[in-house]
Amino acid sequence: MLRPRASLSNVERQLSAEIHSHLGEDFIQHNSWGVSFQRLTDIHLDSHLALEIEPNGTMKTLMIFLVIGFFVLLVGIVNFVSLSAARFSDRAMEIGIRKVVGADRKTLILQFIGEAVIVTFFSALIAISLAEILLPYFGLMTGRYLSMGYEALTVILCASVVVGVVAGSHPALILSSLQADNVLRGGTVLKRRGTAFRKGLVVTQFVVAIATMIATIIVARQLSYLEGRNPGFDKKDMVVIPLQRRGLDGKYAALKSRLDGTPGVVSVTGSMGEFGFAEFKNEIKYHGSVLFECRWLGVDYGFVKAMKIGMLSGRTFSRGFASDTAGAVLVNETAASKLAALGLLDKQLELGIYINRRPSMHVIGVTKDFNYLSMYNPVKPFFLILEPERPGYVYVRISPQHMKSTLENIGEVWKDVNRGYPFEYHFLDQQLDNSYSADQSLGRVFGIAAFLSIFISVIGIFGFHYCDWHGGLQGNENRRRKSC
């Protein structure tokens, strides 16, 4: 909690200096280190850091939801206006008689706008009741559980009044402008005046509905592409067991030794951060000169093989090479291309970190590019560093056959090695797929909006033709009476 009017940049600078004073010159010389603050109110929509508790929303997604709601509301408004315009012939005689007995245009405008506001206000009350009933089901479909407070209810009811005024203005202005003599003579001017406008409204609402359908199809195809694209490693049948969060990273060696012989277990490896989520960034240097920024991850022997990451050249980490513990690294294809363009692929590099007293690194192999983060992020230079001592996460690839019994066996091994701690795990593919949960929710919302838009438009066109048909019957009846 900062004091009022405190400078955030000054606090960051002072705290960074205080931390540096306790780290020592040797550490600071080989590590990129800094402190930054984030406002608590910025976490939900503007935070996309490593190790977030759950995928956060974005202002972009929120604006898309607002636009979808606006389009559905627009279809409803257009529907209301078109139906009101279609009922000209029903209200024309009433307007003519009222003008004959002395009603002025202002009174008629207020009457019709008032009728529209009453309709929209009570419609809003019904909509609020339906929303309260359907919100839990909406949460099940989208994974977003919402609720309406008093502020939201106030906004909705006030918006209904505004919508009523807007939607009722055009019919009110048109109806109040009718001439009493033309109406009472049963002229056809009324019908000609509203036909083009009503057709335009019908076209508009179907354009909005079809546009929403197209957006739904695009989002669905995009999600299908993201879920079907090869990330560059095999994420299936991979069980992830966190150790670091509970201070059990020192038990990794014993746990790995026991799991290697467990039935159903194909391979066991580990990493410092959670693969696909922990985003460690540092600068690549050569003789103190910064080359470019890269992502990196400390891993155990056999990590590349367990993850089934393809190799382009060189070799992976091996216990048969003692020099691997003295600064050997693997780089992806993107990083290798950058280093090769600089003529530094076979040179001693500095990664800006100082792990196990290894200030310099040398490349022993090049992997194929893989999407370490979500598919939305472009592939960036990536370094794999050998850190087999204290991984924070264990990765266990299991056989797809008898998965239930294999997990039970892993649970028994866990109880023997880490008594007193519950066995917690998740599957890597499910965890990575959860990063697209916001887009999946967006796709479902688009589908709901498309359904509502089409449904409202169909009801509108049905009501439109019914009013025309009903008006035609009344016109025929009036003509028959005149002939008699």
On whether both 389 and 464 belong to a single domain, the answer is no
Q: Is residue 19, in this structure, part of any structural domain at all?
A: no
Q: Please name the residues in contact with 332: beta carbons below 8 A apart, sequence gap of 6 or more.
A: 366, 367, 368, 369, 370, 379, 381, 382
Q: Is residue 476, in this structure, part of any structural domain at all?
A: yes
Q: Which residue has the higher pLDDT, 354 or 228?
A: 228
Q: Is residue 416, in this structure, part of any structural domain at all?
A: no
Contact 236, 396 (CB under 8 A): no
Mean per-residue pLDDT, 184-205: 62
Mean per-residue pLDDT, 376-404: 88
On whether both 324 and 455 belong to a single domain, the answer is no
On whether both 371 and 453 belong to a single domain, the answer is no
Q: What pLDDT is stored for residue 189 in this prediction?
A: 46
Comparing CA positions, the residue from 216, 139, 229 lying closest to residue 442 is 216
Task: Label residues 454-466 b or e (16+ Cβ within 10 Å = b).
Answer: bebbeebbebbee
By percentage, how much of the chain surpasses pLDDT 70?
Answer: 79
On whether both 192 and 117 belong to a single domain, the answer is yes
Contact 368, 333 (CB under 8 A): yes
On whether both 142 and 249 belong to a single domain, the answer is no
On whether both 261 and 294 belong to a single domain, the answer is yes
How far, in whole angstroms, is CA 148 from its chain's centroid? Answer: 21
On whether both 183 and 262 belong to a single domain, the answer is no
End position of a domain, from candidates 354, 378, 399: 399
Read off the pLDDT of residues 310-338 as tens digits, 9 standing for 90 and up: 999 999 999 888 888 888 899 999 999 99
Q: Is residue 38, in this structure, part of any structural domain at all?
A: no
Contact 190, 452 (CB under 8 A): no
On whether both 289 and 354 belong to a single domain, the answer is yes
Q: What pLDDT is stored for residue 418 in this prediction?
A: 83
Taking the C-alpha atoms of residue 335 and residue 331, their distance in angstroms, rounded to an integer, is: 6
Q: Which amino acid is at 106?
A: K
How many domains are there within the chain? 2
By percentage, how much of the chain surpasses pLDDT 90?
Answer: 16
CA dihedral 45, 49, 55, 61 (to 10 degrees): 40
Q: What pLDDT is stored for residue 10 in this prediction?
A: 78
Place of tokens 């709901």: 448
Q: Which domain holds residue 250?
A: 238-399
Q: Is residue 9, in this structure, part of any structural domain at all?
A: no
**pLDDT classification of 205: cutoffs 50, 70, 90:** confident
Q: Is residue 454, in this structure, part of any structural domain at all?
A: yes
Q: Is residue 104, in this structure, part of any structural domain at all?
A: yes
**For residue 229, with 0-12 CB atoms within 10 Å meaning exposed, 13-18 middle and 19 or more buried, which class applies?**
exposed
Taking the C-alpha atoms of residue 335 and residue 374, their distance in angstroms, rounded to an integer, is: 18
On whether both 134 and 244 belong to a single domain, the answer is no
The C-alpha angle with vertex 67 and arms to 61 and 71, in degrees rounded to 5, equals 145
CA distances from 29 to 107, 282, 283, 361, 427 (A): 82, 13, 13, 15, 39
On whether both 475 and 393 belong to a single domain, the answer is no
For the chain, the distance separating the N- and C-terminal CA atoms, rounded to the nearest angstrom, is 88
**pLDDT classification of 479: cutoffs 50, 70, 90:** very low
367 conformational bin, left if phi > 0, alpha if psi -120 to 50, beta if neither: beta
Taking the C-alpha atoms of residue 271 and residue 13, their distance in angstroms, rounded to an integer, is: 32
Write the DSSP string, 103-145. --HHHHHHHHHHHHHHHHHHHHHHHHHHHHHHHHHHHHHHS--
The C-alpha angle with vertex 33 and arms to 4 and 281, in degrees rounded to 5, equals 110
Read off the pLDDT of residues 415-460 as tens digits, 9 standing for 90 and up: 888 887 888 899 998 888 777 776 777 777 778 877 887 887 777 7
On whether both 125 and 252 belong to a single domain, the answer is no
Residue 472, pLDDT above cutoff 60: no
On whether both 205 and 70 belong to a single domain, the answer is yes
End position of a domain, from candidates 345, 378, 399: 399
Q: Is residue 31, in this structure, part of any structural domain at all?
A: no
- For residue 319, what are its two tokens? 């216990």
Q: What pLDDT is stored for residue 483 in this prediction?
A: 41
Alpha helices in 287-402 (DSSP H): 303-307, 333-341
